[in-house]
Chain A
Amino acid sequence: MPYFLRYYRDLGIDHFLFVDNDSEDGSREYLAAQPDVSVWTTRASYKRARFGVDWLNWLQMRYGHGHWSLVVDSDEFFVYPFCDTRPLRALTDWLDASSIKSFSAMLLDMYPKGPFGEHAYREGTDPFETAQWFDSGNYTMSKNRKFGNLWIQGGPRARTFFTDAPERAPALNKIPLVKWHRDYAYVSSTHMLLPRGLNLVYDEWGGEKASGCLLHAKFLDTFAHKAAEEMARKQHYANSHEYRAYQEGLAASPDFWCKWSEKYINWRQLEILGLMSKGNWA
């Protein structure tokens, strides 16, 4: 949590809105003590709230209207073109000037070398010091006819846990940054939105639109614990298929790392690899 806040404060986020779903690790108290954080606490079912989307949409409708809002999980770290030299405000100003209302950032699973449990994560440190590897070129995508968004799958989870059932591999497409309007709504997590036009974050005529990545710090030593906990809560999507697969896979103490894993350097590397793009922002 402290690292999360520091990371996003450095990007220039003005205010944080948190939904705390019955946490027990003291996060709520920590967050409530921060000057730029508002916390909502719920004991209600994550599943019944359509995996949190209902909470999200309500908060956005109430507080997001007319603002650029970035919706991320606490283990997702937003990377965009020039993020090392330009604050987030530069991006949103440019998007405003270009009449662009939504900005995509694919989820990029980061993992350590060796089994997850080998390196202990210490609160407040940069998780990508250990989880600094990622898959650079095994993502496949198809178009969702109904909502017009791209459905992206792949990465280390697909190639390790879902080799026999690729259609069940988790979706990696995300549109976390939106100039919010009270009439908008997230449909399923931040994967897709309504109205459908907001999902058109990709160019269909050969060009590249600007896009970013969400570095996913999920696969740390805390992951095994979390998978077990989530299985017990049974609150996840599609009968927690994902977590069931993880648990089965985890029994074999998995190592995502392979000799083709790419070591994270910066956003320019991601852009060269074709995972994100500057579009016409220069």
Chain B
Amino acid sequence: MSVGFVMLCHTALGRAAQVARYWADHGCPVVIHVDKRVSKSALRRMTRDLEGVPDIRFSPRHACEWGSWGLVAATQAAAAMMLHEFPGVRHVYLASGSCLPLRPVEELLAYLDERPKTDFIESVTTEDVGWTIGGLNIERFTLRFPFSWRKQRRLFDGYVRLQRRVRYRRRIPPALVPHLGSQWWCLTRQTLSAILEDPERPVYDRYFRKVWIPDESYFQTLVRQVSVNVESRSLTLSKFDFQGKPHIFYDDHLQLLRRSDCFVARKIWPHADKLYRIFLSDDLARQPAAEPNPGKIDRLFAKAVERRTKGRAGLYMQSRFPNLDWENGMTAAPYSVFEGFSDLFENFDIWLGKVTGSRVHGHLFAPDRVEFAGGETVYNGALSDSPALRDYNLRGFMGNLMWNTRGERQCFQFGPRDNQKIGPFLARDPNAQVSVISGAWAVPLFHSNCNFGDIRKEAARLQKIEADHLAQLRSLHVKARVRIWTLAEFIENPMEPLQTIIDEISPRSSRRLTEAPRMSDLVGFGQFLQNLRNQGMQPVLMGDFPAGDDPRPSTTRRGRPYLVK
């Protein structure tokens, strides 16, 4: 009792011949089908290669265009030849010319000997398939496909749409329940001959001739009619990427393939000399009889597909430049924007860095320079502090900063004196945590030593800028986590909002804030606002500061306020 291999070849015939010889030398008969589109000279070379090797046959040639009936016809002919010429064969293994055995033939034989009645063929009902390309599952069986998917895609798609619109349906032969699965199978003589010798076969063949990609459904469907013991998986390790084309194995996959314990893998790069040399050598170390376990390879390829379809969040680079709203993460990690805090509190950045353990920058978008933490002139990733470079591509700057510092929470100050063009980006970014004390920009003005006329003008300018910015932050499309307090609200009770923000930045530290940052002296601030009003400028963003009633003079005067639990 033995296993026989049917090989479907269309390229790299030299490699196919090498594998065929290996199997034949180890006592397994091989029937080779060569695509009719292969040139005569290439075929001659192959037959010459295999001259004198017993138990190798060439089956009648069919043209095997991808997704066409030719592949099934070729398989039928070759399988029939195998059953007829080699009566000793019990299992027939369908392989391609780019397959490579990963374990010695004896191990495969032993494995099959233990399961003499089992058919290994992936066979899944159309409802349960998630991997088909083109989104066509059951419709493969009910529509007509006269156009090539690869060469006449528009016609193909148009014709499918048309049939859907007029609700055209082909009748599926009543006895059949459509199943799909990998085209690489291993069937027993009983099952295979039952399929090939079925009196209904002409009917089925006529039907499947017009099914799309019949090589993934013909045997998979018919096996359900005749087999008593279907094991719905393929013994061939074969992975497909998101376009439905098989992943290719190279020399550097050697260890991965070794550890997979699979019997056969496809598809192998024809120039992977090391793989062919090692897996076709006779001294391949015998492994303990293990079940095939392609888990690691699955993960590797799943990751590749994910990288191609979703990419790395927050990365902008030469081969990933997502359109608006397709970023899958506008920035690489969450970050915090503080507006007005550094105006109200003295040394706010130092305090914040201490309580959160994050990196706290100054005004990154300040007009005269990028205020990186610690006054650095160059920052992570060799970002320059030049404002011109930053302003040249603000979003690029922000994306780079967050990408370069992933793993470390970033905080920075922002205010109406800064470049406002980044505002909409911050508002739209779900990673941004924006906290605003509106009107706090007036505090430095209050402390400044300028002429009041200039102060009034500056106040009017800043108020206008901040009002526009707040309108952005309150718009319908905001995705950032935004909190806005007026200055008056905030100083009424500064600890509670601070605690909320800090908790969000470092959720794991359960420590309550014990030390508040030192607030600037606000004695006379109410009067200052009144003076602005008297001069005809209406300060509105600070909230309600009655003139003369100075906010919390007791705490600010005493220095550091301490919170009592």
Which chain A residues have a beta carbon within 8 Å of chain B's beta carbons?
82, 85-87, 89-90, 93-94, 97-98, 104-106, 135-143, 150, 152-153, 156, 158-159, 162-167, 173, 201-211, 258-262, 274-282
- Report the minimal beta-carbon distance from B98 to chain A, rounded to whole angstroms: 11
Interface SS of chain A: loop
**How many residues on B have C-beta within 8 angstroms of the other chain's C-beta atoms?**
51
B506 beta carbon closer than 8 Å to chain A:
no
Q: Is the CB of B320 within 8 A of A166?
A: no
Count A/B pairs, Cβ under 8 Å.
Answer: 178
Question: Are B382 and A280 within 8 A (Cβ)?
Answer: no
Q: Evaluate contact between A159 and B389: CB separation under 8 angstroms.
A: yes
The 10 A-B pairs at the shortest CB distance, nearest first, are namely A137-B381, A140-B396, A280-B308, A282-B304, A140-B393, A211-B319, A166-B392, A163-B386, A135-B382, A159-B384
Q: Which residue of B lies closest to A87 (CB)?
A: B271
Q: Within the complex, which residue of A98, A138, A203 is in contact with B384, where a contact is CB–CB below 8 Å?
A: A138
Task: Determine whether the beta carbon of B242 is less than 8 Å from that of A141.
Answer: no
B307 touches A208 (CB 8 A): yes
B409 to chain A, nearest CB (A): 17
Residues of B within 8 A of A (CB): 241-243, 245, 247-248, 250-252, 269, 271, 300-301, 303-305, 307-312, 315-323, 326-328, 378-384, 386, 388-389, 392-393, 396-397, 400, 403-404
Instruction: Report yes or no: B247 in contact with A282, Cβ–Cβ below 8 A.
Output: yes
Please determine whether A279 and B381 come into contact, CB atoms closer than 8 angstroms: no
Report whether B319 and A260 are in contact in the complex, using a CB–CB cutoff of 8 Å.
no
Give B266 Cβ to nearest chain A Cβ, in Å. Answer: 13
Knowing A89-B271, A201-B318, A209-B319 are in contact, say whether A279-B404 is a contact too (CB < 8 A): no
Known: A279-B308, A280-B308. A163 touches B320 (CB 8 A): no
Known: A159-B382, A208-B317. 9 other contacts (CB 8 A): A85-B251, A86-B251, A137-B381, A150-B318, A153-B392, A167-B392, A277-B319, A278-B304, A280-B307
Whether B388 and A280, one on each chain, are in contact in the complex, defined by CB atoms closer than 8 angstroms, is no
Residue on A nearest B307 in the bound complex, by CB: A208
Residue of B241, B243, B389 with most partner-chain A CB within 10 A: B389
14 A–B contacts from the bound complex (CB under 8 Å): A104-B319, A106-B317, A140-B393, A140-B400, A141-B393, A173-B318, A202-B317, A205-B326, A208-B311, A262-B382, A274-B315, A276-B318, A276-B319, A277-B307
B393 touches A260 (CB 8 A): no
Enumerate chain B residues within 8 angstroms of A82, measured Cβ to Cβ.
250, 252
Residues of B contacting A164 in the complex (Cβ-Cβ under 8 angstroms): 386, 388
Instruction: Say whether B388 contacts A206, CB under 8 Å.
Output: no
Closest to B325 in A: A206
Asked whether, in the complex, the Cβ of B243 is within 8 Å of the Cβ of A138, the reply is: no
Chain A residues with CB below 8 A from B404, complex form? 136-137
Q: Within the assembled complex, what's the spacing in Å between the Cα atoms of A162 and B320?
A: 25
CB A262 to nearest CB in B, in angstroms, measures 8
Contact at A137–B403, with CB atoms within 8 Å?
Answer: yes
A137 adjacent to B380 (CB under 8 Å)? yes
Q: Which of B241, B310, B379, B384 has the most CB atoms of chain A within a 10 A radius of its CB? A: B384
CB distance from A246 to the nearest CB of B (A): 17
Give chain B residues whose Cβ lies under 8 Å from the Cβ of A158. Answer: 384, 389
* CA distance in complex: A210, B382 (Å): 24
On whether A104 and B382 interact (CB within 8 A), knowing A90-B250, A136-B404, A209-B308, the answer reads no
The complex places the Cα of A105 from the Cα of B312 at a distance, in Å, of 18
Q: Given A85-B252, A141-B396, A208-B312: A278 and B382 within 8 A (CB)?
A: no
For residue B312, which residues in chain A have a CB less than 8 angstroms away from its CB?
208, 274
Contact of B307 among A104, A135, A207 (CB under 8 A): A207
**Which residues in B have their C-beta under 8 angstroms from that of A165?**
388
Q: With A and B bound together, what is the CA distance between A167 and B321 in angstroms?
A: 20
Question: In the complex, which of the residues B271, B303, B315, B382 has the most CB atoms of chain A within 10 Å of its own CB atom?
Answer: B382
Q: Are B307 and A260 in contact (CB under 8 A)?
A: no
Q: Which A residues are in CB contact (< 8 Å) with B320?
A: 202-203, 206-209, 277
Measured in the bound complex, the distance between the Cα atoms of B247 and A98 in whole Å is 10
The residue that B310 contacts in the complex, of A87, A138, A206, with Cβ under 8 A, is A206
Closest residue on chain A to residue B327 by CB atoms: A206
B319 to A208, Cβ gap below 8 A?
yes
Contacts of B322 in A (CB 8 A): 203-206
Asked whether A138 and B400 contact (CB < 8 A) given A90-B271, A206-B327, the answer is: yes
- With the chains together, A162 CA to B378 CA distance in Å? 15
A93 adjacent to B269 (CB under 8 Å): yes
User: In the complex the two chains form, is B308's CB within 8 Å of A207's CB?
Assistant: yes
Chain A residues with CB under 8 A of B384: 138, 158-159, 163
Q: Out of B323, B326, B382, B386, name the residue touching A137 (CB < 8 Å).
A: B382
